[in-house]
Structure 1
């Protein structure tokens, strides 16, 4: 699932290689969220027809194809095609993989398992820029690959994953009754499902929003250049990854509701710090608290939705993954707010999302 995060690193290298403008280069990451909106719900229906394991295998095959395209052409159009297929494959994968896990794990342990999956996913986010830089500056230029060795490494892992999963026997539940897209969307009329959907939108919006805004806050308040302020994004990822790792164990010992509440409160305190503090240490502290708190929001909300409607796991998964489109909505709203009031406006938009998550905490159900 984490392979999709290479788009941020790769788009910078593509922009440099092809001499693209910022607007042209920014089209690459925007494609990711677009395909989540389009493919998430249909994937839920596809799982009903061919099963969860086959759907996951299909998603990895599509991802592998996307990673091989740059070797046949590295122009603007081939790269757009590559990143589009990467987004499509990831949308299908995130929709189908989580329900497949429910065939192995259930109850409160599900949230813990999904959290550990997010930790493993974060490894790809960390490794992408490291592998690309290694390829661009050391051994790999000799072979004419340069930074594109990143695609080689991830393509090999894809092929290995296809082989291992295909050879692993998994007893799936009987496929859910076939549903139409309209019937899937109508599940949002169930109040608790809608609450889960909105919580995932808030989680992703805060995630993308913090990554985008954190360096700007430091530049605005402290006056540091972007090269130094950019370290704030690293702080966020470090603590988000740590939160996923520790959350996998914490969730095995305490109620998801309690841990979710602690996480939401931690994020709220972090937002207050960003609102009020003007020192670099305090700002880093606020960013770290948001990163750690936001690390476990997705698995808890996702598992809550799956456990609430066990007879509609495939459709529910599609709806929840569609909520990742929040990563497009929040930054747009934050941009308009920041234009009017500075970065405090962007923080205010994210804080509204945190307030909603505090409210959602009260609605979380505990397993019997």
Structure 2
């Protein structure tokens, strides 16, 4: 570690891969516009996020095995390539089928980026600076996620076409990929790697299974909020889709703020108690959102939900690994696979929306938050 050269010329292109990683959250605003453009049922519209997040389950561990043989930078470049390809598709041909294909490619690309980016970042910074750069990387990703709905809304206002956001994302992906391609990076190699079989066997451990399912639900909450905010606000208060899309930006703005604050506070506070209160507050705020009486009140509640829920993922992730440090590689693989919750929870919400209305679909998120609240007692024991 000591002989690493932490040159900005090497670090910057790696950090920019987190900008491309944040493009995955465009699925939220896209779901609302696609529902309107193609007159989709709630179930059909919620298939879009499923096309993205199902790949975390299918590819996370296989990609980590391939990465061991091909190298992190090469694998990361493939992830950026798949993302760029997916972004150009709906700009060239716009149909529901093409949009599904777009999000399949985006999901594959994002899974690859998620698997490769953190280990590559670890290779280009010193050991004592890695934690701070990890926090910075998540901050960058949150900014990228925040800008997506704003860019889409701007494109509608200026050019009458929200799909221009895909062109912007595609061009940025190409620029980041080319910059990374021409940047020489000396990678470390590992003698130990997690296998698919050894990781799955860990699920026989009740504690590990309980915590992996918590990650499943955390991602489900995040994607469920992202993809249903527009529908909730338009149905409850009759506001335009463009105005409702601002709720997504408010949500990601709150995530950006809370993750930045969390990176500073977590070294100084009891993270287990923080998990307890933040998960309980998230459940209560989600209930209040369903009962909200005005759009402005909902916007405020969405912001508070982002603040309370934004650090649930890193908290569960880090607290679980700290309990079973010798199996960190396998647990990390399982938790990346559990991101598939983002593909499962939204369709369930879509079915409930179609039967009972969008407000009732948020009951899934409230129950999920209460489950995460219960992890405190598992971790405490």
Kept in 2, the 8 Å contact 1:44–1:316? The answer is no
Kept in 1, the 8 Å contact 2:22–2:145? The answer is yes
Kept in 2, the 8 Å contact 1:5–1:128? The answer is yes
Which residue is 2:209 aligned to? 194
Indicate whether 1:89 and 2:109 are aligned. yes
Distance 2:276 2:265 in 1: 13
Shift of 1:131: 3.1
Indicate whether 1:225 and 2:246 are aligned. no
Kept in 2, the 8 Å contact 1:66–1:85? The answer is yes
Which residue is 1:119 aligned to? 139
Which residue is 2:8 aligned to? none
Where does the alignment leave 5 or more consecutive residues of structure 1 unmatched?
Answer: none
Kept in 1, the 8 Å contact 2:283–2:366? The answer is yes
Q: Which of the numbers 3, 15, 22 marks the counterpart of 2:40?
A: 22
Kept in 2, the 8 Å contact 1:113–1:248? The answer is no
Indicate whether 1:3 and 2:19 are aligned. no
Kept in 2, the 8 Å contact 1:185–1:319? The answer is yes
Q: Which of the numbers 62, 65, 70 marks the counterpart of 1:42?
A: 62
Distance 1:276 1:78 in 2: 37
Q: Which of the numbers 296, 308, 313 marks the counterpart of 2:311?
A: 296
Kept in 2, the 8 Å contact 1:61–1:162? The answer is yes
Distance 1:292 1:197 in 2: 22
Shift of 1:71: 6.5
Kept in 2, the 8 Å contact 1:274–1:283? The answer is yes
Indicate whether 1:174 and 2:190 are aligned. yes
Kept in 2, the 8 Å contact 1:28–1:83? The answer is yes
Indicate whether 1:261 and 2:276 are aligned. yes
CA displacement, residues 177-213 of structure 1 (integer Å, 9 cap, x when unaligned): 462x333322222344323311211212222333455
Q: Which of the numbers 311, 331, 334 marks the counterpart of 2:346?
A: 331
Q: Which of the numbers 313, 322, 331 marks the counterpart of 2:337?
A: 322
Kept in 1, the 8 Å contact 2:28–2:226? The answer is no
Structure 1 residues 301 and 102: CA distance shift in structure 2, 3 A: farther
TM-score (norm 2): 0.74
Where does the alignment leave 5 or more consecutive residues of structure 2 unmatched?
Answer: 1-20
Q: How large is the Cα RMSD of the aligned pairs?
A: 3.9
CA displacement, residues 24-66 of structure 1 (integer Å, 9 cap, x when unaligned): 6654433112222322232232233334343223212222333
Distance 1:148 1:343 in 2: 25
CA displacement, residues 258-310 of structure 1 (integer Å, 9 cap, x when unaligned): 43234223313324534766566665554333221111111222334555566
Structure 1 residues 150 and 331: CA distance shift in structure 2, 3 A: closer
Which residue is 2:74 aligned to? 54
Q: Which of the numbers 219, 223, 234 marks the counterpart of 1:208?
A: 223
CA displacement, residues 293-350 of structure 1 (integer Å, 9 cap, x when unaligned): 1111112223345555666655433321221222233334445556776666434432
Q: Matched residue of 1:22: which SS? A: coil
Kept in 1, the 8 Å contact 2:25–2:145? The answer is yes
Kept in 2, the 8 Å contact 1:205–1:330? The answer is yes
Kept in 1, the 8 Å contact 2:234–2:244? The answer is yes
TM-score (norm 1): 0.76
Structure 1 residues 83 and 345: CA distance shift in structure 2, 3 A: closer
